[in-house]
């Protein structure tokens, strides 16, 4: 192995060891009831787990699918209405706008189905809870 590879391996081991020490000193020891008591700069803290509900982003936040489908359908309708290029272009543009708006409404109506519950650790000074 060459010199730069050895330097990378040693640096990686050092960073991993420092991260382990820092995380142990940050998290502290757990008590029997699931809370942790840590000593930080002379101040005793109590920590507990709390459930937090958040709404996840939709799978298609830019509404590309609705825009694309709307443009195709609008272009087809525009082609049928008038056999000119301008009617096809106007139909595609209008269809894209309508398709995007429809997908936005559907995503807004289904926001409650995207609710995600996560457990976060909260800490406060002892006795303040």
What's this model's pTM, rounded to 2 decimal places? 0.50
pLDDT digits 0-9 by tens, 57-101:
888 888 899 999 999 999 999 989 887 889 999 999 999 999 999
Mean pLDDT of 25-39: 57
Please give the residue that has the higher pLDDT: either 21 or 98.
Answer: 98
- Segment (H or E) for 87: helix 85-109
pLDDT digits 0-9 by tens, 42-57:
668 889 999 998 888 8
**Separation in Å, CA 46 to CA 34, 40, 72, 104, 121:** 11, 11, 59, 43, 10
Give residue for tokens 């990686």. 12
Question: Mean pLDDT lowest for which of 6-15, 17-26, 43-52, 87-96?
Answer: 17-26
Distance (Å, rounded) from C-alpha 16 to C-alpha 119?
A: 26
What is the predicted pLDDT for the residue at 40? 46
- Segment (H or E) for 112: none
């Amino acid at each position: 192995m060459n010199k730069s590879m050895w330097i990378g391996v040693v640096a990686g081991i050092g960073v991993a060891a420092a991260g382990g020490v820092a995380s142990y000193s940050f998290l502290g020891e757990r008590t029997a009831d699931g809370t942790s008591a840590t000593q930080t700069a002379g101040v005793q803290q109590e920590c507990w787990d709390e459930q937090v509900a958040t709404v996840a982003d939709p799978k298609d936040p830019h509404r590309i699918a609705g825009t694309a489908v709307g443009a195709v359908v609008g272009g087809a309708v525009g082609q049928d209405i008038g056999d000119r290029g301008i009617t096809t272009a106007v139909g595609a543009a209008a269809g894209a706008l309508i398709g995007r708006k429809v997908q936005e409404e559907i995503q807004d109506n289904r926001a409650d189905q995207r609710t995600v519950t996560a457990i976060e650790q909260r800490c406060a000074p002892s006795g303040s809870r």
